[in-house]
Amino acid sequence: MISKEENELLCRTGPGTPMGDLFRRFWLPFALSRELPKPNCAPVRVRILSEDLIAFRGTKGQVGLLRGGRSNYLRAGSQPRERLSPRSREAAK
């Protein structure tokens, strides 16, 4: 059995934590392509590794990811959608 301190070390993934730094060295899938179906579609809020981010698809179709506080780069009048898990989508119906 691991100690509480060891558990905290392994489970915390925020910026500046050992596991957060490790995970940030690799590509991590965070959304399905169909969640950003076409250029200039509504952006999607994403929370990954304890960070609030905004995913979007630009005019030329490329996918981008911004920190949540940088939402001033989004299209005027465009509100980010909340990303729902499949289970949450079913509950919302």
* DSSP, residue by residue, 23-43: HTTS----S-GGGS-STTPPP
Pairing of strands 81-82, 44-48: parallel
- pLDDT-derived band at 74 (thresholds 50, 70, 90) equals very low
* pLDDT at res. 83: 56
**What torsion do the CA atoms of 54, 62, 21, 29 make, to the nearest 10 degrees?**
90
- pLDDT-derived band at 68 (thresholds 50, 70, 90) equals confident
Tokens read off for 29: 């899938």
* pLDDT at res. 60: 92
Residue type, 11: C
